[in-house]
Chain A
Amino acid sequence: MNYTFLEHTADIKFVAKSKTLNKTFKDSAYALLNIIKEDKKISFNKLKKIKIKSNNLENLLYKFLEEFLFLLDSQNFITETIHNLKIDKNNFKLECILKGDDNQKYNINNKVKAITYNDLEVKKQNNFWLITCVLDV
């Protein structure tokens, strides 16, 4: 996974960097999930399909990441892996399949309150996609 956590007094900040937008989105989600799951390994028992539409890349990422919090809070679903991620860069649409399980089995708490717009960035630098994001914990 290509993500690193950075210093932020109150919250958690991470940067993900990869050659494709697809991989950078995925890694951002894995950074978020890393905070929630720590190093607990989740079995694959449940499947979720998600579809998201937005009006620009940053908002698309915001909604994508928020989906993991939504599934956790409302459906007790914790994601282990992300599959078949398709991003339509021009129309700001995304879909993918999530494999995971019921979080209650693993005593996993959702400690992330929200994704924030603070320093939120999705940009292309030279040959790399770069995502910066702060999570409210």
Chain B
Amino acid sequence: MNITKINDFIWEIEKQDDMNVPCRIFASKKILDKIKEDNSLNQVVNVSKLPGIINYSLAMPDIHEGYGFCIGGVAAFDLEKGIVSPGGVGFDINCGVRVLLTNIKEKEFLLKKQEILNQIYNKIPSGLGQEHNLKLDEKELDNYLVYGAEYAIKKGFGIAQDLEYCEENGKIKNADPSKVSLRAKKRGKPQLGTLGSGNHFIEIQKISEIFDSKIANVFDLEKDNICIMIHCGSRGLGHQIASDYIQKMQNPELKDKQLAYAELDSKLAKDYLSAMNCAVNFAFANRQIIMHKIREILQAEFPNSKNVLLYDICHNIAKFEEHKINNQIKTVCIHRKGATRSFGPSKKLPFKYQNTGQPVIIPGSMGTASYILVGTNKSEELSFSTTAHGAGRVLSRTKAKQILSPQKILNDLNKKNIQLKTNSIKDIVDEAPETYKDIEEVVNVCDKLNLSKKIAKLVPLAVIKG
């Protein structure tokens, strides 16, 4: 594979054979060398062969091997000639992250740390086998699928203002529950308001460093304040929707079955998008319910605290967005699989962020820092307004289990004074910092390329894992 260096952080695989467009990888030399070891780059090339792909098949700096698309894979498709691929969204539809800002200072928080951690752990079911107590019936579930976080707020989980600070206002349009299988609904029903396992987490962090005080001010980020990061998705409902439609889109001619797709103007594509949007809304509602419960706990412990949603962003999604393509504004179907929208200053954003760009949240791995960045206009030019979504895995879970012990990871967290609560001590090996890329490296590539700019650094004080 011939990789050309465009500059220190952009690498291109030129168009050849049956590729429709070239590929571009945003990475440092160090990251690039690492990903050459697995199948990631082949996956970026496979995406470039899909019909109707526009400009480039892209990979963000946290790229790593996935299935179908790589994680960190981004592609935009023409509405007439293009396609939608469930493998370009992933199984955990609208897996995403939000940050709840507080005006609680670290000093005050530390006095009640254990108590708050216990309460969060007890009130928010993390994995399976701990069902929520929402007692949904079929109709109620459908309301969540159509109205997302808006419906959660209607049911008392939050305040109207929260919606303004969610991508798509917490409710994506064109969600049709009749396109969601009964199996998917049955899997999702007991899981609304639950965190899930794997890489999902709730983290209590403090803002440890500000890089741009002007924008930090607009974002209400103040040094030494506590904030809560929530990372989760659409649970079994989304997984089953993805699976159902990947199966429906199988045909014998596919080279990579996981890259199954449907032409955007087909009924199957429309059905998938209508079902996928239901999972998007389920995930918005899920994060909203979880955040609300945390807010209630904080307000009870700190009656004078102000707890405000900074932003909620999607990591795994396909949707219609307007982008400037060859100097023309065009609506495209953008796929982001393990990637974050990164709008610069724009009227499309909530009023508060119209002059700055949107907040971008990039969580680090367990026990390491996370970052708040701001979206840029440059990202529109480079990546259909997209940036990285996390640290990106480097080590397989199989390998991690061989070389790391849970006790070592616990000791490392202890040394940093980070408290951990989890259902399964064994599983924390999968999420150890050693299994991920260095978050600083990923964030710095984003910053240097202007895909998104660093605003603040957050360090963990306590973490809850499913």
Contact = CB atoms under 8 A, between A and B. Distances in A.
Contact of A111 (B131, B183, B198): B198
Nearest to B90: A136
A74 B236 CA distance: 9
Nearest to B243: A114
B398 A8 contact: yes
B396 A136 contact: no
B129 A107 contact: yes
Interface stretch (B16-24, B146-154, B186-194, B288-296): B186-194
A117 B183 contact: no
Given A74-B183, A117-B258, A137 B397 contact: yes
Contacts of A118: 66-68, 256-258
A59 B397 contact: no
A88 interface: no
A81 B55 CA distance: 51
A15 interface: no
Contacts of B239: 69, 113-114, 136
B375 interface: no
B128 A117 contact: no
Given A38-B426, A113-B92, A10 B128 contact: no
Interface string B390-401: 000111111100
Nearest to A54: B247
A114 B91 contact: yes
Interface in B401-433: 423-424, 426-427, 430
Contacts of A73: 128, 186-188, 190-191, 235-236
B438 interface: no
A12 B256 CA distance: 18
Contact of B236 (A6, A69, A103, A104): A69
B426 A5 contact: no
Interface string B218-262: 000000000000000001100110110011001000001110100
Interface in B93-137: 126-131
Contact of A10 (B71, B129, B235, B427): B71
B38 interface: yes
B67 A12 contact: no
B128 A134 contact: no
A117 B189 contact: no
B64 interface: yes
Nearest to A55: B250
B393 A10 contact: yes
B357 interface: no
Contact of A117 (B71, B260, B397, B424): B260
Interface in A80-137: 103-104, 106-111, 113-118, 120, 134, 136-137
B142 interface: no
Interface residues of A, number: 38
A117 B259 CA distance: 9
A9 B393 contact: yes
Contacts of A74: 183, 186-187, 189-190, 236
A137 B198 contact: yes
A35 to B, nearest CB: 9
Contact of B91 (A6, A107, A136): A136
A70 interface: yes
A76 interface: yes
B118 to A, nearest CB: 17
Contact of B398 (A5, A62, A120): A5
Contacts of B426: 38
Nearest to A103: B129
Nearest to B64: A9
A69 B197 CA distance: 14
Given A6-B398, A137-B397, A70 B240 contact: yes
A111 B427 contact: yes
Given A103-B128, A117-B246, A137-B397, A9 B65 contact: yes
Contacts of B466: 109
Contact of B257 (A70, A117, A137): A117
B127 A109 contact: yes
A11 B67 contact: yes
A1 B198 CA distance: 26
B399 A7 contact: yes
Contacts of A9: 38, 40, 64-65, 393-396
Interface in B341-398: 393-398
Contacts of B427: 109, 111
Given A12-B397, A136-B91, A109 B129 contact: yes
Nearest to A76: B129
B430 to A, nearest CB: 8
6 contacts: A7-B399, A9-B38, A73-B187, A73-B191, A73-B235, A107-B129
Interface of A: 5-12, 38, 58-59, 62-63, 66, 69-70, 72-74, 76, 103-104, 106-111, 113-118, 120, 134, 136-137
Given A12-B398, A69-B187, A118-B258, 11 more contacts: A9-B393, A10-B393, A12-B397, A59-B247, A59-B250, A73-B190, A103-B129, A108-B129, A113-B92, A117-B68, A117-B246
